[in-house]
Chains A and B, each alone.
Chain A
Amino acid sequence: MIKAYNLTKEFKTYKKYEGFSGAVKSFFSHEYTTNRAVDSINFEIGKGELVGYIGVNGAGKSTTIKMMTGILVPTEGKCEVNGLETVKHRKEIAKQIGVVFGQRTQLWWDLPVSESFSILQKIYDIPLKQYNENLDYFKDILDLTEFYLTPVRNLSLGQKMRADFAASMLHDPKVLFLDEPTIGVDIVVKEKIRKAIKDINSKNNTTVILTTHDLDDIEEVCNRIIAIDCGRKIFDGSLTELKNNYGKFRSVKFEITAKKNHNLNEILNLSEDDLICIENETELEIKFRRDVIKASDLINKIVTLYDIKDLTIMEPQMEDIVKEIYAINKNYKT
């Protein structure tokens, strides 16, 4: 469905100098540095796949999405959607894809949701029967009815996101691009959107590509993960593969009354690779591999050794996983 060959995007940044004389200098200078936002990425996504596209901020996620949707032209390489090269076939591709940018809306600010939808029906030339069916369907699963007649400017963030999501799906696109669709919305709305994505996928076999910072999104929705960092692909595989290989470290933080300096590695009989422990007057932080020792066992043990006031278990963050993937890849290469 989607193919990326050697996809590369470079941006030029002009050099800036400081101060007044610097301002004059940079006015006349043409020096610039090129930075590769996306660096020779290859992948192929089949029909009906649910792909999570992950990476830290500035890793090149949005740039890739923009190239796949035909908004940006790649510097090198090319990208095909349904056999058509993007940008060259902008209009044909536009009919086959739906795009949601979580940061901005594609609806008309002043118009009620209903009116925006009816304009989109004309723009995408959606047959009326199909349009009405889809409308009923989305009203149902996304609860649009309560704010269907409200102008977009008066909607809350969550409502806007749901309306936007429905808007991008009205024309039954074959591919759905979602750029941070759950950013800034509450957990209930997140659930609704995730459910809708899964529903659409099973109903129409729609290919979905989704970027997010929320690991739950990935876990609940995606069956395949592509991770990038500094514009390079660093992981491509199924969710289970990711889970088995990375993100094994958990950490627990205890609030303690006094420093005791127990050697936990010795007590638990674990090497420094499996358990790391940092202790100060009031806090004890332990990082451990969850496949070597269970959190409950660890906590039980610590309780016997220390006087504990409070404890927190920290789930791994996306950034940590990506860093981990990146660190491992780097070691692998060298």
Chain B
Amino acid sequence: MRRFFLIYFTFFKQQIKLLIEYRMDFMLGMGALALQQVSLFIIIFAVFTRVSAIGGYSFNEILLFYGFSQMVKGIDHVYNDNIWLVGWGKIQNGSFSQYLIRPINIITHVVMERIQFDGFGELIIGAVIFVYAKITLGLDFTFVQWLVFILFLISGLAIFFAIKMMCASIAFWTIVSGEIMTVAYEINNFTRYPLDIYKSVLLKSVLLYLLPFAVVSYLPMVYFLRSSSHISQVIGINYSSPYFLIIFIPAIACVMLSAAFFIWNMGLKRYSATGT
């Protein structure tokens, strides 16, 4: 474990140096992601000068969903960006073999190799919006609620991680899977807004079970905002226990992670059988 942090820290230092080398590119990249946040914020703001609620949610409530979803996405973007390259050519050009001759776990190595500072733009603006919404809504978390919040956050990160890893693994069979990764990742755009506005059952099921981005940001926030009966109606699961989501969200995360590791390991096995 100590070694893990040592290696990570070394990579981190190198990345900082690179950042300084390519500072113009970095500034524009981070600025771009920040601009995206701001522009989406402006749209929501503009709309709320006319209407008082969308899908039954007030401006600040919408912001809460939006801020939290961008926070999770931002954290994921910062630490887990290198896996894109597995889908986008590491297998094609054979550089993936390098991981197999190193004395550390492969996925750890992949993750450690790169820190994407651009993601901080998303993270910071997401956090600012989230904190603002939380204060104006008067949402005060107790200690236990904070623990639940952290549990949800970690589960959300795990789901992001699992989806990216699963899609990247497809490259073990198809050599390049960047397109599939992009498609899966793009679906997360649906969860900028509460699930209530999507009337399609199919779409909801996809967002809850297949690519469970709704579990990443919608469920955690709606847990703090609405009653169990309301949520159970939206997601179509009949439950009454208030603790249901505290179990359900980490459970989905665990299932996704296990599935992802299963596919990844299967892919690795295939990779070392064909060596493509």
A interface vs B, CB < 8 Å? 11, 63, 66, 69-73, 87, 90-92, 94-95, 97, 99, 101, 104, 106, 108, 110-111, 115, 118-119, 122-125
Contacts of A111 in B (CB 8 A): 14, 17-18
Docked complex Cα distance between A29 and B102 (Å): 39
A120, closest chain B residue (CB) = B102
Confirm or deny: B120 has a beta carbon within 8 angstroms of a beta carbon on chain A.
no
Contact across chains for A125 and B3 when beta carbons are under 8 A apart: yes
Given contacts A66-B275, A123-B7, contact A99 B103 (CB under 8 A): no
Q: Which residue of B lies closest to A11 (CB)?
A: B274
Max count, chain B CB within 10 A of own CB: residue among A72, A106, A122? A122
Q: CA A122 – CA B102 in complex, angstroms?
A: 11
Assess whether A72 is in contact with B95, with CB atoms less than 8 Å apart: no
A115 near B272 (CB under 8 angstroms)? no
Which listed residue (B17, B95, B101, B273) contacts A99, Cβ 8 A? B101
Q: Mark B101-134, 1 if CB is under 8 A from A, else 0.
A: 1111100010001000000000000000000000
With both beta carbons as reference points, the residue of chain A lying nearest to B275 in the complex is identified as A72
Decide if A108 touches B14 in the complex (CB within 8 Å). yes
Q: Which residue of A lies closest to B11 (CB)?
A: A119
B99 shortest CB reach to chain A, Å: 9
Q: A104-B94, A123-B104 are in contact. Are A73 and B17 (CB under 8 A)?
A: no
- B interface residues with partner A (beta carbon < 8 Å): 3, 6-7, 10-11, 14, 17-18, 21, 93-95, 97-98, 100-105, 109, 113, 269, 272-275
Instruction: Determine the residue in chain B with the shortest Cβ distance to A62.
Output: B275
Q: Which 8 A-B pairs have the closest CB atoms?
A: A94-B103, A95-B103, A122-B7, A71-B100, A73-B272, A72-B275, A99-B101, A122-B10
Kindly list chain A residues whose C-beta atoms are within 8 Å of the C-beta of B273.
72-73
Q: Which residues of B contact A110 (CB under 8 A)?
A: 18, 21
Contacting pair A69 B101 (CB below 8 A): yes
A residues in contact with B269, CB < 8 Å: 73
Q: Is the CB of A71 within 8 A of B97?
A: yes
Interface of B, secondary structure class, is helix
Distance in angstroms between the alpha carbons of A11 and B270 in the assembled complex: 12
Residue from the list A63, A71, A115, A125 in contact with B101, Cβ < 8 A:
A71
For A75, give the chain B residue with the smallest CB separation: B273
Contact of A115 among B6, B7, B14, B100 (CB under 8 A): B14
For the A-B complex with A69-B101, A101-B97 known, give 4 more contacts whose Cβ atoms are closer than 8 Å: A66-B97, A70-B272, A119-B14, A125-B3
- For A104, what are the chain B residues with a Cβ–Cβ distance below 8 Å? 93-95, 98
A71 touches B275 (CB 8 A): yes
Contact of A63 among B3, B6, B275 (CB under 8 A): B275
Which residues does chain B contribute within 8 Å of A11, judged by CB atoms?
A: 274
Q: Which of A71, A92, A97, A106 contacts B272 (CB 8 A)?
A: A71
